[in-house]
Chains A and B, each alone.
Chain A
Amino acid sequence: MKIFEQKQVGTEQIPLGYVHSIETFGSVDGPGIRYVLFLQGCQMRCQFCHNPDTWQQGVGTEVTAEQILTDAVQYQAFWGQQGGLTVSGGEALLQIDFLIDLFKKAKTRGIRTCLDTCGQPFTRQQPWFSRFEELMRYTDISLVDIKQINSRKHKQLTGRHNENIFAMLAYMLAHNKHIWIRHVLVPQRTDFDVDLIRLGQYIKTLAPIVDKVEVLPYHTMGVTKYTELGLDYPLGAIRPPTPTRIKNAEKLLNCAAYTNYQAYPGYLEA
């Protein structure tokens, strides 16, 4: 983690972000090459999570939007026609005030913004909802993880319900906010045809805003982190899905049908 100089916060109310880490070369977290900021803190407890070290809230490196942007713009030459800034986590929406400040300032510098979220903090309650609406004004594209279409299984898998996630997607559809949908394929947890078919049908209802649908095969590279944190690994001996099952999921989710990302213009429509 880069060592940022600690800002003296005076009378100004500058929202601080709590950062887990920075990846300067993200090429699978949004269109093009992206500077990916991983924020600290998440309230979901996904069994397949490979970054349990990002769960705890209120810790991490304190940064201001200005510090991040000053660092990020150094990489602008690598971004090509599509790349830019992605904020991921943890769960990025848990730090919505910082996010708004960051994306708003990013847009004034002409930086393309991407939000990577699972939507868990979403609510229509105020004042949060209007904060979210403001954030969406500065967000070019969002990557939304749908963990499980089946609510009961979602609760088992993540510790949380999924209704508000669908509410967020409904908002995005209504406001033409473009998204990529990502789905982690975990044998014995999400890799059931019945769920995949339902999910595929659901995604179809969002078609106008879905630029891309990706199946992310579960992998076991997170296991060592659990050991380091002294946690039990919840998926025990579950192995990554077979290529056949990955293909099957891609078929059931109609991944090939969503190709708008290829012509992604990069910028939010004016």
Chain B
Amino acid sequence: MKQRQATDHKTDYWTGFNGGDWQESIDVRDFIQENLTQYDGDEGFLAGPTTATTSLNDTLMALKQQERAAGGVLAADNNIPATLTSHGPGYIEKDLERIVGLQTDQPLKRAFMPYGGLRMAEDALEAYGYPADSTMRQIFTEWRKTHNQGVFDAYTPDMKKARHYKIITGLPDAYGRGRIIPDLPRIALYGIDHLIEAKIQDHGNVGNGEMTDAVLKLREQIAEQIRALKGMKVMAASYGHDIAHPAKTAQEAVQWVYFGYLAAVKTQNGAAMSVGRIDAFLDIYIQRDLEQGLLTEIQAQELIDQFVMKLRMVRFIRTPDYNDLFSGDPIWATLAMAGMGMDGRHHVSKTSFRVLKTLENMGAAPEPNITLLWDKRLPDAFKQYAAKVSIDNSTIQYENDNLMRYQWGTDYYGIACCVSAQPIADGVQFFGARANMAKTVLYAINGGLDELSKVQVGPPVEPIRSEYIDYAEFMAKFDRQLDWVADVYVNALNVIHYMHDKYDYEAEELALKDSKLNYTFATGISGLSHAADSISAIKYGHVKVIRDENGIAVDFQADQDYPRYGNNDERVDNIAKMLVKKLYDKMNTHHLYHHAKLSTSVLTITSNVVYGKNTGTTPNGRQAGKPFSPGANPAYGAEQNGALASLLSTAKIPYKYATDGISNTFGVTPQTLGNTAADQQTTLVNMVDGYMENKGMHLNINVFNRDTLTAAQAHPENYPNLTVRVSGYCVYFADLTKEQQDDVLARTYFETM
């Protein structure tokens, strides 16, 4: 259906587009709805890389090699606090670059970002042999307060203790919280000047003149956003581009979108810096140029290749502690693609294919974190192509579009980090780490005494003293400890987000969203499988406690077999469900910063190794210090009925409570998927279809043999591009710590004989 043509003072820029509400107010979704070109065909049309792309990519690969050889960091600033304009333009090789812009003035050089916390920024520098700068120290201790300082001014002793003894881990109290998805296409569609005008209007419309805290806060934030928008223009101008106006061509559209992303990663070292969802949007611009003969397919692919190449180059400097949690320099430049529209049309375009093609054109890489929003109704050719890419290089994650579209009420959402849906126009998430559920089980048994440090951390409740654990007694005590965890966890996050807004506000990202936002308050759970199996052991397995000389439970012995999570067995799967709901309900009794809506996740990323390291032996037989299973995965070795039984167990975790995502990392050998490439693809497609139909939320798919990993561990030089999907992101196997590599090796790789 051909709509009325777009007419406006921006006619020049919008010629050829169908008009609509998007012309009246800022509404990227409406623009996509009106102008989407669906593609049902196969990958046959795709083009290979241009010589320019290949040459740039070769240079980049060489730089990455040098970076690895230099111990992980190629270059780093220590005395220029990063801003939009702190650095002049940087290039890989200017003449070959179709899409330009680097975080600093040189490829892979890491910027100095002290606003989240000076200590962390300095420690990171020193860990890689760069000296901390005394002037910077003076500025960011004496003259300018950081987020980290603010948080520690307000933390209670209980919060510090919970953090120190790792019942709560990974709190964003010393670095950027991240997880904000800017609506990047706004720059391309409207131009910065129009966005500034709209923000000025919003600024005038805040409150009715009564200066309440909320009104003051929003007025100040919008003013900062306007300043940020102006800064973006200056930043782009340094590369010779004027982004005051909308994009005229596909090349400009890609470039403008990238400038928006660049603004975010120049100013925030957030834990996850998502790109959002740009495939259908950019496709409209590419399609317009193709139709007018201004662009060839080769050139279109070149734009996407080079855009993706830039996403692969984003770097933050992190401390070794952080790297133990999240290895391999992940930044979660998550790129959500495909999905269905609310009107029942799928959003697969040729550009969805073009993005997948980058993996072939430039080799596999962990970033961007390619996330397919899956629905059974997506075109078959696209599903098959995605499966092929997964089998070739294990770089894709699959998420249930149906679940998320329904939960979040929009088809214009992106994925922040790994599995966290976020409406792009008007949604924001306050990111919030994870609570250690398996450790809470031990606190219940030991009366709040930490099993490793022997320090009283949780509430001093009478421990379990009997030889065998009584289920009812255990549950009552568990409840008490979990109450405490919920309380200290949520309130620590209240402190963090208050201070983050105050000292490290993400003006550059929020400038590209609506001024009035809906907030979610994200929390997380680690060790779910071990907690569920432990409680199942207590309930069904007749568990005997073995105590040390201090009376602390250090080992357990189950006299009988008991159901384990991961076998599609209601008895224990219901325990896992109960745990998620219980923690959610307890947290929900508390005040949540900014009146945000509570969400939780079952996601650990690679931190399952560190959480496990800090947790004693659990009643399910997991030995002290051993890694947890990642995300919502069953404990290693618990699965006895094959992959689908395991998948159905994780599919039962209710998304309604865990709206921040439920991660399943799935490993399978190629032979198990089928004997031929065609069979393997079809099996994978059917598997993902089946999982999603059963309300499974997320699947990381790894297709390889354990032998490959063993060889890659011994000879990393032979496998520089071997990528592995870990809970929620993708990483070069060679960049994982030895412990994490061992953990990946210990995982279940479903195979049939």
**Chain A residues in contact with chain B, CB under 8 A?**
1-3, 21-29, 32-33, 35, 50-51, 74-75, 77-80, 83, 214, 219, 221-222, 262
- Partner of B645 from the list A2, A33, A262 (CB cut-off 8 Å) is A2
Complex contacts, B675 vs chain A, CB 8 Å: 28, 214
Interface pairs A-B: 6 shortest CB-CB: A78-B690, A24-B644, A25-B643, A80-B686, A77-B693, A24-B642
Interface of chain B residues 673 through 718 with chain A (CB within 8 A): 673-675, 678-679, 682-683, 685-687, 689-691, 693-694
Majority-rule SS of A interface residues: loop
Which residue among A3, A21, A24, A50 has the maximum number of chain B CB atoms within 10 Å of its CB? A24
Question: Which of B211-219, B441-449, B453-461, B562-570 lies at the interface?
Answer: B562-570
Known interface pairs A2-B645, A27-B679, A28-B674; A83-B569 also in contact (CB < 8 Å): no
Distance between Cα atoms of A29 and B425 in the complex (Å): 48
Report 29 cross-chain contacts, Cβ distance below 8 Å, ordered by A residue: A2-B568, A2-B645, A3-B561, A21-B640, A21-B641, A22-B641, A22-B642, A24-B641, A24-B644, A24-B648, A25-B644, A25-B750, A26-B642, A26-B752, A27-B679, A27-B683, A27-B752, A32-B683, A33-B687, A50-B753, A74-B648, A75-B690, A77-B690, A78-B686, A78-B690, A79-B686, A80-B685, A80-B689, A219-B753
Is the pair B642, A27 in contact by a Cβ cutoff of 8 Å?
A: no
* In the bound complex, CA of A35 to CA of B645 (Å): 10
Chain B residues touching A, majority SS: helix
Closest to B568 in A: A74
CB nearest to A29 among chain B residues: B752
1/0 per residue, CB under 8 A from A, across B16-48: the answer is 000000000000000000000000000000000
Distance between Cα atoms of A50 and B641 in the complex (Å): 18
Please measure, in the bound complex, the distance between the C-alpha atom of A262 and the C-alpha atom of B679, giving whole angstroms. Answer: 9
B752 touches A25 (CB 8 A): yes
Assuming the contacts A28-B752, A74-B568, asked whether A23 and B641 have C-beta atoms less than 8 A apart, the reply is yes
Given A25-B752, A27-B673, A28-B672, CB of A78 within 8 Å of CB of B644:
yes
B685, closest chain A residue (CB): A80
Interface residues on B, range: 20 to 34
Nearest chain A residue, comparing its CB with the CB of B540: A3
Per the bound structure, the CA–CA distance linking A228 and B682 in Å amounts to 36
User: B671 in the interface, Cβ–Cβ < 8 Å?
Assistant: yes
Choose among A24, A78, A221, A262 the residue that contacts B689 (Cβ–Cβ < 8 A): A78
**A-B contacts besides A2-B640, A28-B671, A33-B690, 20 pairs, CB < 8 Å:** A2-B567, A2-B641, A3-B563, A3-B569, A23-B641, A24-B641, A25-B672, A25-B750, A27-B672, A27-B752, A28-B672, A33-B687, A74-B568, A75-B648, A77-B689, A78-B644, A78-B687, A78-B690, A79-B686, A83-B686
A2 x B569 contact (CB < 8 A): yes
Give complex CA distance A49, B282 in Å.
56
Partner of B694, one of A24, A25, A77, A80: A77
Query: Which residues 602-653 of B have a CB within 8 angstroms of A?
Result: 640-645, 648
CA–CA, A221 to B752, complex, Å?
11
Q: Is the CB of A33 within 8 A of B642?
A: no
When distances are taken between beta carbons in the complex, the residues of chain B under 8 Å from A22 are 641-642, 645
Closest to B639 in A: A24
B122-145: CB near A (< 8 Å → 1, else 0) gives 000000000000000000000000
Contact of A24 among B643, B673, B753 (CB under 8 A): B643
- In the assembled complex, how far is the CB of residue A17 from the closest CB belonging to chain B, in whole angstroms? 16
Is there an interface contact between A80 and B682, defined as CB atoms closer than 8 Å?
yes
Instruction: Give the nearest-CB partner of B571 in chain A.
Output: A3
Given contacts A2-B567, A79-B690, A214-B675, contact A221 B753 (CB under 8 A): yes
- Residues of B near A3 (CB, < 8 A) are 561, 563, 569
Please measure, in the bound complex, the distance between the C-alpha atom of A23 and the C-alpha atom of B645, giving whole angstroms. Answer: 9
| A-facing residues in B713-753 (Cβ within 8 Å) | 750, 752-753
| B interface with A by C-beta (< 8 Å) | 561, 563, 567-569, 640-645, 648, 671-675, 678-679, 682-683, 685-687, 689-691, 693-694, 750, 752-753
Please measure, in the bound complex, the distance between the C-alpha atom of A27 and the C-alpha atom of B640, giving whole angstroms.
17
**How many Å lie between the Cα of A13 and that of B678 in the bound state?**
44
Alpha-carbon gap, A3 to B672, bound state (A)? 25
Known: A77-B693, A80-B689. A32 touches B642 (CB 8 A): no
User: How many angstroms from the CA of A267 to the CA of B693 in the assembled complex?
Assistant: 23
CA A158 to CA B666, docked complex, whole Å: 37
Q: Which residues does chain B contribute within 8 Å of A26, judged by CB atoms?
A: 642, 752
Q: Determine the chain A residues whose CB is within 8 A of the CB of B563 once the complex forms.
A: 3
Measured CB to CB, the nearest residue on chain B to A51 is B753
Task: Decide if B682 touches A25 in the complex (CB within 8 Å).
Answer: no
The distance in angstroms between the C-alpha atoms of A29 and B642, with both chains bound, is 14
CA distance A29 to B682 in the complex (A): 15
Q: Are A32 and B644 in contact (CB under 8 A)?
A: no
In the complex, chain A residues whose CB is within 8 Å of the CB of B674: 27-28
For A79, what are the chain B residues with a Cβ–Cβ distance below 8 Å?
A: 686, 690
Of A33, A79, A214, A262, which is in contact with the most chain B CB atoms at under 10 Å from its CB?
A: A33
In whole angstroms, how far apart are the Cα atoms of A256 and B595 in the complex?
65
Chain B: minimal CB distance from A223 (Å): 12
Residue of B nearest to A212 (CB): B675
Residues of A within 8 A of B752 (CB): 23, 25-29
Q: Which residue of B is nearest A27, CB measured? A: B683
Q: Given the complex of chains A and B, what is the CA–CA distance between A74 and B641 in angstroms?
A: 13
A75: which of B569, B644, B673 is its contact (CB, 8 Å)? B644
Q: List residues of chain B with CB within 8 A of the CB of A33.
A: 644, 683, 686-687, 690
Q: Nearest-CB distance from B639 to chain A (Å)?
A: 10
Measured CB to CB, the closest approach of chain A to B633, in angstroms, equals 15
**How long is the Cα–Cα vector from A263 to B685 in the complex, in angstroms?**
17
- Residues of A within 8 Å of B641, CB to CB, are 1-2, 21-24
Q: Which of B561, B645, B671, B672 has the most CB of A within 10 A?
A: B645
Contacts of A80 in B (CB 8 A): 682, 685-686, 689-690
Whether A24 contacts B645 in the complex (CB less than 8 A), given A33-B686, A33-B690, A75-B690, comes out as yes
A219 to B683, CA, bound (A): 23
Kindly provide the distance from the CB of A165 to the nearest chain B CB, expressed in whole angstroms: 23
CB distance from B542 to the nearest CB of A (A): 16
Name the residue among B561, B673, B690 with the largest chain A CB count within 10 angstroms: B690
Using CB atoms, name the residue of chain A closest to B692. A77
Complex Cα gap A184–B561 (Å): 37
Give the residues in chain A near B640, CB-CB below 8 Å: 1-2, 21
- Check if B643 sits within 8 Å of A32, measured CB to CB: no
Residue from A3, A83, A219 with most neighbouring chain B CB atoms (10 Å): A3
Q: How far is the CA of A222 from the CA of B753 in the complex (A)?
A: 9
Give the chain A neighbours of B569 by CB distance below 8 A: 2-3
